[in-house]
Structure 1
Amino acid sequence: MVLTNSERITGYNVPTGREVNAATELNLYIDVLFFINFTMDFLVLSIVRRAMKYRLIRWRLILGAVLGAAWAVFAAAFPYLPVLLEMAVTYLGVSTLMVMTAFDLKRPKDIGKGLIALYLAAVAVGGIMEFLYQHTKAGYYIEQILRGNTGKAIPFYQLIFLGAGSYFGIRVMLRWLPGLWKAKSNFYEVTMHYRGKEKKVTALLDTGNRLFEPVSRRPAHVVTYEAVRELCESVSEVVYIPFGSVGKSNGVLPGIFLDEMEVRQGDDVRIIEKPLIAVSKKALSSSGEYQMLLHDE
Structure 2
Amino acid sequence: MTGYTVYLDQVIVGNLVMNYIILWATARLSRVSANKMRLLSGSALGALYVLTVFLPDLSFLLATGFKIAVSFLIILAAFAPLSPARFFTCLGCFYLASFALGGLVFGFIFFLRSGPLPAGDIGGVLMVIGDYFWYGVLLALFAFWAAVKGYTALMRSRLTEGLFKMALRIGFWDRQVEVKALLDTGNRLSDPMTMQPVIIVEYDVLKPILPPVLQQVLASPGDPGCLRGFESLGESRWSSRFCLIPFQSLGRDGGLLAGFRPDTVEVVQGKHLLQFEKVVIAVYHKRLDPENSYHALLPPCLLTKAG
Q: What TM-score does the superposition give when structure 2 sets the normalisation length?
A: 0.46
Larger Rg: 2
User: How high is the TM-score relative to the length of structure 1?
Assistant: 0.47
